[in-house]
């Protein structure tokens, strides 16, 4: 195998890093959402449904505040 060149820029691209971070957070949020949705569908637990609704309200409020501030 060829050795890596010492002249290569290993610092990376900040835009690519930001995109990767957003994709990572989005994937985590989607996983949690699917876990809640499937658990509610399987168990029909009203406490869990209320927790999911509260979580959605908190997330929407946080995103709105972030959008207004930035």
> What is the reported pTM?
0.45
Question: Which residues have CB under 8 Å from 52's CB, separation 6+?
Answer: 36, 37, 40
Domain boundaries, the chain: 14-69
Q: 7-46, pLDDT tens digit by residue?
A: 555 566 777 777 778 888 888 888 888 887 777 777 777 7
Question: Residue 8: what pLDDT?
Answer: 56
For residue 11, CA distances in Å to 4, 8, 16, 22, 25 come to: 14, 9, 11, 19, 22
Question: Residue 7: what pLDDT?
Answer: 55
Residue 62 vs residue 49, higher pLDDT:
62
């Amino acid at each position: 195998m060829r050795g890596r060149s010492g002249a290569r820029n290993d610092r990376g691209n900040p835009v690519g890093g930001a995109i990767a971070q957003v994709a990572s957070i989005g994937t985590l949020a989607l996983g949690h959402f699917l876990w809640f949705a499937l658990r509610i569908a399987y168990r029909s637990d009203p406490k869990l449904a209320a927790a999911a609704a509260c979580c959605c309200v908190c997330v929407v409020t946080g995103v709105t505040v972030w959008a207004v501030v930035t």
